């Protein structure tokens, strides 16, 4: 590769910087760099961090407390930190903007089902990407149309009517149903009759899945004829560790306790 080509994919004389282009080249290069610096660090990246364990009185393997660590343990933990440092220098200190969120649930606190999950997602994602559009899909569903995102964005980006659109949803289709659908499990009445019939009354309600939402609508934005979506909403302030700690608190099971979340603010529980 020429110097210009190497620069375009994020290479410099110190370490390969990943800038979103040519991931396969960067992955192979960063592997070689880490192995050359410290092979044990590469094993940490490959196999996961070293976890310092001990055997308790019942014969179970449990993590050691800080006060129980010995010199050999510290060396293993230093390998973890060194591997993380190398990756941070190559990738940067930004979290990926596609994030899997598992919110905290405890039996003594109401988790408010899907509305609670969406509110947690709103809070956590606002610290990471703050994306203007949110897709909600049930865990047992998938999109059978690769153009569905583009189709939804066409509505949200419409120069004349976008201010009138709060969400764009798609009908549900089901597999492995009975021949005549005697139990009505394919919800054809909803998707083929009610959806169309409600168009003259401002459109149908949100059915719970297969739906693209405007973030600001879920956050309580009031209707305005002059409103336009701000597509430049990315915000990631602070280090990975600071963002992680903030995200943990926002996904906590007690965050909404004695607050207006789910009542007067965001998705109603």
pLDDT tens-digit series, residues 90-115 = 766 555 566 677 788 888 888 888 88
Instruction: Specify the range with the lowest mean pLDDT, choosing from 63-67, 98-102, 184-188, 233-237.
Output: 233-237
Place of tokens 């960063």: 30
Average pLDDT value for residue range 23-35: 83
Nearest of 263, 262, 264 to residue 120 by alpha carbon = 262
Distance CA 237, CA 249 (A): 16
CB 114 within 8 A of CB 208: yes
Name the more confident of 190 and 265: 190
Helix (H) or strand (E) holding 149: helix 148-156
CB 133 within 8 A of CB 212: yes
Assessment of whether the complete model's pTM goes beyond 0.85: no
CB 187 within 8 A of CB 172: yes
Q: Is 138 annotated as a binding residue?
A: yes
Top CATH class of 131-233 equals: alpha beta
In this predicted structure, what is the pLDDT of residue 130?
81
Average pLDDT value for residue range 210-230: 83
| Residue 269 pLDDT grade (very low, low, confident, very high; cuts 50, 70, 90) | low
**Cβ neighbour number for residue 255 with a 10 Å cutoff:** 17
| DSSP structural state of residue 202 | T
In this predicted structure, what is the pLDDT of residue 95?
55
In this predicted structure, what is the pLDDT of residue 10?
42
| Residue 238 pLDDT grade (very low, low, confident, very high; cuts 50, 70, 90) | low
Which of the residue ranges 34-38, 49-53, 186-190 has the most confident prediction, judged by mean pLDDT? 49-53
Domain range annotation of the chain = 3-91, 97-129+234-269, 131-233
Per-residue pLDDT at 4 exceeds 80 = no
Instruction: Specify the range with the lowest mean pLDDT, choosing from 71-80, 136-145, 247-256, 259-268.
Output: 259-268
- The β-bridge partners of 211 are 136, 169
Cα–Cα–Cα angle for 21, 38, 36, rounded to 5 degrees? 60
| CA 259 from centroid of its chain's CA atoms | 24
Place of tokens 């060396």: 75
Per-residue pLDDT at 11 exceeds 50 = no
Instruction: Specify the range with the lowest mean pLDDT, choosing from 65-69, 103-107, 224-228, 249-253.
Output: 224-228
In this predicted structure, what is the pLDDT of residue 5?
40
Instruction: Specify the range with the lowest mean pLDDT, choosing from 84-88, 219-223, 263-267.
Output: 263-267
In this predicted structure, what is the pLDDT of residue 15?
62
Name the more confident of 57 and 21: 57
Name the more confident of 252 and 89: 252
């Amino acid at each position: 590769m020429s110097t210009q080509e190497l620069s375009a994919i994020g290479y410099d004389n110190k370490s390969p910087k990943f800038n979103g282009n040519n991931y396969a080249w960067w992955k192979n290069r960063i592997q070689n760099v880490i192995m050359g610096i410290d092979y044990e660090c590469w094993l940490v990246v490959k196999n996961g961090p070293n976890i310092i364990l001990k055997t308790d009185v019942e014969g179970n393997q449990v993590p050691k407390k800080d006060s129980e660590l010995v010199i050999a343990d510290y060396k293993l933990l230093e390998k973890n930190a060194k591997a993380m440092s190398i990756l941070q220098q190559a990738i940067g200190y930004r979290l990926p903007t596609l994030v899997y969120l598992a919110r905290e649930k405890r039996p003594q606190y109401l988790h408010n089902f899907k509305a609670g999950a969406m509110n947690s997602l709103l809070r956590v994602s606002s610290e990471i990407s703050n994306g203007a559009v949110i897709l909600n899909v049930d865990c047992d569903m998938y999109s059978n149309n690769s153009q569905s995102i583009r189709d939804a964005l066409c509505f949200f980006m419409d120069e004349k009517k976008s201010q009138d659109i709060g969400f764009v949803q798609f009908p549900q289709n089901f597999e492995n149903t009975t021949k005549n659908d005697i139990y009505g499990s394919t919800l054809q009445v909803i998707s083929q009759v009610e959806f169309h019939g409600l168009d003259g009354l401002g459109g149908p309600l949100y059915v719970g899945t297969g739906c693209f939402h405007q973030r600001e609508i879920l956050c309580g934005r009031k209707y305005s004829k002059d409103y336009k979506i701000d597509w430049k909403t990315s915000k990631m302030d602070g280090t990975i560790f600071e963002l992680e700690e903030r995200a943990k608190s926002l996904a906590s099971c007690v965050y909404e306790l004695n607050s207006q979340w789910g009542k007067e603010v965001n998705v109603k529980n």
